[in-house]
């Protein structure tokens, strides 16, 4: 696979906690690839009909949902692991924890932890930085 | 509808400097890629080999787009995208790639997934 490349754009922002203005970076999102384009790309790359990819994707994500929503961690090789996480206010006693659980429950979320292989790919990604004044100009490159 | 178990365990919380009950989701098992593919193939009546090939293609497509700065919309599942953490600087001359401290792939669940999460039945255990 080709080495990836991401752009980090630095934009002037007010930092509230010390009331200063600084250049804060953010990864540039080139576009959002729609579901249909992901299917076309995968179908072309694997030389399989698009319908096969679409059915597979549905089946795969339904299975993933089923396992994750029932408290299992799901590992997709070379991509990462999906799991559920819960945020609940801590209490001083176990009795209080059980009694006030619904009141103290802040959030249940699905988390994604990238696979070491994906992390290695990310690490070798070329990083271009730019500022708003020099939009499009590459100031430096690494990776 | 899913069902999970949240376990409360006594742990030291540095902020309060005392032992408190902290909740965390009990993870029953780690479902590996092969098990996931077998289950999906059986439930959707698709040949396992075909599903395996498609899984690899989908995975490669996701990492290709994400590592090139695009967000990938997986419909009712969610969106993958690159996330970065970098140091803020005061002037443009200081901007360089070394300021980027952390690059990772993030996942944002779809509204459908969020709805499914909200409907999960929770069993509390201490």
CATH number of the A5-142 domain: 4.10.520.10
Domain count, chain B: 1
Which tens digit of pLDDT belongs to each residue from B5-17? 999 999 999 988 9
Rounded-to-10 torsion of CA B13, B3, A82, A67: 150
Q: Which of B12, B22, B23, B43 to mutate to test the interface with A (most CBs of A within 10 A)?
A: B23
Do the Cβ atoms of A118 and B77 come within 8 Å? no
Cβ-count burial A10-37 (b if 16+ within 10 Å, e if not): beeeeeeeeeeebbbbebeeeeebeeeb
- pLDDT tens, residue by residue, B28-45: 999 999 999 999 999 999
Which residues 60-89 in chain B show a CB within 8 A of chain A?
60-84, 86, 88-89
A76 to chain B, minimum CA–CA distance in Å?
Answer: 5
- The verdict on residue B23 lying in a domain is no
Question: Which among A79, A130, A134 has CB closest to B59?
Answer: A79
Task: Judge whether B58 lies within some domain.
Answer: yes
Q: How do residues B47-72 score in pLDDT, each as one tens digit?
A: 999 899 999 999 999 999 999 999 99
- Structural domain spans, chain A: 5-142
Residue corresponding to tokens 């792939």: B105
CA nearest neighbour of B72 among B102, B100, B108, B104? B108
Chain B residues within an 8 Å CB radius of A138:
none
Q: Is the CB of A76 less than 8 angstroms away from the CB of B75? A: no
User: What are the mean pLDDT values of chain A's consecutive 10-residue runs (143 residues total)?
Assistant: 81 87 90 93 90 91 93 93 94 93 94 93 89 55 44
Q: Please indicate, yes or no, if residue B76 is contained in any of the structural domains.
A: no
Q: How confident is the model at residue B120 (pLDDT cuts 50, 70, 90)?
A: very high
* Alpha-carbon span B37 to B44, nearest angstrom: 10
pLDDT of residue A141: 45
* Residue of chain B whose alpha carbon sits nearest to that of A2: B64
Q: Give the 3-state DSSP-derived string for chain A, with helices as H, strands as E and coil as C.
A: CCCCEEEEEEEEEEECCCCEEEEEEEECCCCEECHHHHHHHHHHHHCCCHHHHHHHHHHHHHHHHHHHCCCCEEEECCCEEEEEEEEECCECCHHHHHHCHHHHEEEEEEEEEECHHHHHHHHCCEEEEEECCCCCCCCEEEC
* Interface predicted TM-score (ipTM): 0.89
Asked if residue B89 belongs to a domain, the reply is no
Q: Is residue B79 part of a domain?
A: no
3-state secondary structure B79-103: EEEEEEEECCECCHHHCCHHHEEEE
Q: What is the pLDDT of residue A16?
A: 87
| CA–CA gap between residue B83 and residue A26 (Å, rounded) | 8
Range of the domain at B56: 31-68
What is the number of CB-based contacts under 8 A between chain A and chain B? 317
pLDDT for the residue numbered B126? 85
């Amino acid at each position: 696979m080709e080495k990836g490349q991401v752009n980090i754009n630095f934009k002037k922002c007010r930092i509230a906690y010390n009331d200063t203005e600084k250049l804060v970076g953010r990864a540039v999102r080139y576009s959002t690839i729609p579901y249909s384009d992901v299917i076309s790309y995968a179908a072309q790359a694997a030389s399989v009909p698009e319908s096969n990819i679409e059915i597979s994707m549905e089946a795969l994500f339904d299975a993933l949902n089923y396992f994750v929503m029932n408290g299992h961690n799901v590992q997709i090789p070379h991509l990462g692991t999906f799991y559920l996480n819960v945020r609940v206010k801590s209490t001083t006693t176990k009795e209080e924890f059980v009694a006030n659980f619904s009141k103290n429950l802040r959030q249940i979320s699905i988390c994604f932890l990238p696979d070491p292989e994906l992390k290695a790919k990310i690490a070798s990604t070329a990083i271009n930085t730019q500022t708003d004044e020099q939009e499009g100009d590459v100031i430096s490159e690494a990776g | 509808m899913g069902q999970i178990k949240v376990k409360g365990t006594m742990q030291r919380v540095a902020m309060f400097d005392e032992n408190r009950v902290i909740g965390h989701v009990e993870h029953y098992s780690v479902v590996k890629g092969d098990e996931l593919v077998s289950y999906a193939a059986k439930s959707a009546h698709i040949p396992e080999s075909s599903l395996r090939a498609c899984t690899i293609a989908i995975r490669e497509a996701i990492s290709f787009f994400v590592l090139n700065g695009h967000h990938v919309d997986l419909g009712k599942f969610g969106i993958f995208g690159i996330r970065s953490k970098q140091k803020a600087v005061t002037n443009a001359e200081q901007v360089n790639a070394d300021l980027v401290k952390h690059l990772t792939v993030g996942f944002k669940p779809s509204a459908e997934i969020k709805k499914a999460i909200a409907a999960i039945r929770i069993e509390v255990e201490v």
